[in-house]
Structure 1
């Protein structure tokens, strides 16, 4: 393995894999794709690419045409009753745990089935093999990706390729989450990373870490009586307070007039979506707060914004952005850096400092086409 791509490598198992692989002298480049980098990169072999995989299509991966190894470690889910999952969360879990992985494998499939050695490992989950109440969507989506891998490996064999896709089915791995930007001990994840690399070298198609010690008996119990296993699993999660009521999805909010829509607006929306799973945009009824008039009616501006692929929901904005939290419980408020330090946003910062699930993201001003420039040009033409 010389040039390696790790999708979802900014924390936990993906980061552990990067740290193990980078020590190999034969490795030249490790490309890591993730939304946010939790760690400091100190090795020049590692290159980080910030991307929201929920937005970008598979063509994004064409730039990594030189790779000879692929690790897909992305995953999302929470322990919760099905009726407590929002439709947003259900869509996100299916997209991340199955659809995105399928699209990535499709993008690199010509390499996978070629005569050249190409190593692939995909992280599914033990939850996809057993009755997983209170983890239903996560388990089902992981089961789907395992079924995909099994079928593709048969196709690869029948087509004469020596390459196979390694399906890694871990259970809980300590050190795969971050709290207050402080990394938990990732030694357990590093141990699994070493197992994955060894299994790839041996061209295995399935790896269940801690199989003999833990998961063999779990799988056997489920096979012998799935119903009883499911009941016990449900009770265990409830009794041990494993159920989480707080949605895992990150909701972002941005407001604006979006009159005379231009590339500057598009770039702001694209940047906002990079930070969140679900982006809500509030469109101002008019521009009276700036003592300006608008050229495009509210309904048309909302329809334009709604059609942008980075936007998930559009509402009519409220006079104050903090008031929107009463109807949209957003976690991130996006705004231009020119608002930082204003009385209004100092007030917001003070209010949000009392909460642990919301923050303001200030985007630096970048030169591009602006509505002010367009208004000036239109006014000039009208005068002439």
Structure 2
């Protein structure tokens, strides 16, 4: 029987390197990530399956199906953060960091916990960070999310031990890593191979904490922190300040689309779902009426706003502006979403010219067959 593993965040960096090593060991690996591995990887390996998966909004049905595939390894390497002062973090970015780095990972582990909490061998590893073990100015929320994950893993491992369960969750807490895209670099499996081999060695030995380069670097780091946390924190602040890695630009990507959204139907829902896949924060502008199309609305403006606002893909509902570029002046969005039938129109040709130097992408969604507002209007009028 072929051993099987699930690697969440397995298309890049450490996750991809771990996948590569598991494939070389004869495992079949399910890679769960928001994007597929590079073509150079897919050309080399074929004993894996890619499944689109977003830790910020995932479908538990995916995990349910995988639980019945004789999985015996769960490895989670996804994570986000940036070197920035707390004052430079947007509240939406704070929520995103905490959810992706901690809350969602804890929920995934909870979903597989019936497998972890049995004595049948099941190996679980999570990429945490040395920042979760020490004070880390310029990394405040990232550090908080990783500290939460560290304490969670430590506490659950004690519960497993006290209940006579031999399985453990491995906390992998490295410092700076080369060969990943985390700090704007590129994937380099060669640079990550020693690290991923060390991870798997500790995973299969059911260790609870693995700090790469511990004796060479991090034993001293942890000792200095323990001896004087305040002094360590001040020195860390100065070091990061002098590293030229401090960022003042938010990582939150804002999307915007406008529409009437009368007689809300599955086509509207699909549009909002697809838009949210591109951005972290989706703003929807609702037209007060359909007069610009020479049509009437059957549902009032306030009710249409409330209906759209209740959709889980929508973060904010506003009254639409006469022009979508006017909305950009108010909300500073990065993506403008619209149906593909508008491409080439005078209005959107004008928008494309307006946005070409403003770091805004116009995304044209193809028209999909199915229920439409026009069909519903026609049916209502006939009745």
| TM-score, length basis structure 1 | 0.93
Q: Tell me if 1:103 matches 2:104.
A: no
**What is the SS of the residue equivalent to 1:74?**
coil
Q: Tell me if 1:77 matches 2:73.
A: no
Identify the match of residue 342 of structure 1 among 340, 345, 364: 345
Distance 2:374 2:348 in 1: 23
Structure 1 counterpart of 2:38: 39
Structure 1 counterpart of 2:157: 153
- Distance 1:97-1:380 versus aligned 2 partners, 3 A rule: same
Q: Tell me if 1:218 matches 2:221.
A: yes
Distance 1:252 1:51 in 2: 20
Structure 1 counterpart of 2:120: 116
Distance 2:129 2:111 in 1: 23
| TM-score, length basis structure 2 | 0.93
Q: Given that residues 71 and 122 in structure 1 are in contact (C-alpha distance below 8 angstroms), is that contact kept between their aligned partners in structure 2?
A: yes
Give the superposition deviation at 1:175: 2.6
Alpha-carbon displacement from aligned partner over 1:315-353 (angstroms, at most 9, x marks no partner): 111122232222212222222222222232233333333
Q: Tell me if 1:188 matches 2:198.
A: no
Alpha-carbon displacement from aligned partner over 1:6-31 (angstroms, at most 9, x marks no partner): 11222211122222222222x13x11
Q: Given that residues 80 and 182 in structure 2 are in contact (C-alpha distance below 8 angstroms), is that contact kept between their aligned partners in structure 1?
A: no
Structure 2 counterpart of 1:6: 7
Alpha-carbon displacement from aligned partner over 1:202-256 (angstroms, at most 9, x marks no partner): 2211111121222222111111111011111111111222210111122222221
Distance 1:350 1:183 in 2: 32
Give the superposition deviation at 1:132: 0.8
Q: Given that residues 122 and 165 in structure 1 are in contact (C-alpha distance below 8 angstroms), is that contact kept between their aligned partners in structure 2?
A: yes
Distance 1:354 1:278 in 2: 22
Structure 1 counterpart of 2:325: 322
After the TM superposition, which of the residue ranges 45-54 and 105-114 deviates more from structure 2? 45-54
Structure 1 counterpart of 2:24: 23
Identify the match of residue 264 of structure 1 among 242, 263, 267: 267
Q: Tell me if 1:273 matches 2:276.
A: yes
Alpha-carbon displacement from aligned partner over 1:258-307 (angstroms, at most 9, x marks no partner): 11001111111112222222111111122223222211111111111111
Distance 2:291 2:189 in 1: 53
Distance 1:20 1:70 in 2: 14
**What is the SS of the residue equivalent to 1:327?**
helix
Q: Given that residues 3 and 69 in structure 1 are in contact (C-alpha distance below 8 angstroms), is that contact kept between their aligned partners in structure 2?
A: yes
Q: Tell me if 1:295 matches 2:298.
A: yes
Q: Which segments of 5 or more consecutive residues in structure 1 lack a partner in the other structure?
A: none
- What are the residue-to-residue correspondences of 1:79-94 with 2, within 5 Å? 79-94=83-98
Alpha-carbon displacement from aligned partner over 1:54-88 (angstroms, at most 9, x marks no partner): 22354542121122111111112111111221111
After the TM superposition, which of the residue ranges 148-157 and 237-246 deviates more from structure 2? 237-246
- Distance 1:174-1:348 versus aligned 2 partners, 3 A rule: farther
Alpha-carbon displacement from aligned partner over 1:71-113 (angstroms, at most 9, x marks no partner): 1111121111112211111111111111101100100000011
Distance 1:34 1:291 in 2: 44
Structure 1 counterpart of 2:369: 367
Q: Tell me if 1:53 matches 2:58.
A: no
Distance 1:106 1:339 in 2: 45
Q: Given that residues 55 and 310 in structure 1 are in contact (C-alpha distance below 8 angstroms), is that contact kept between their aligned partners in structure 2?
A: no
Distance 2:38 2:326 in 1: 34
- What are the residue-to-residue correspondences of 1:348-359 with 2, within 5 Å? 348-355=351-358, 357-359=359-361
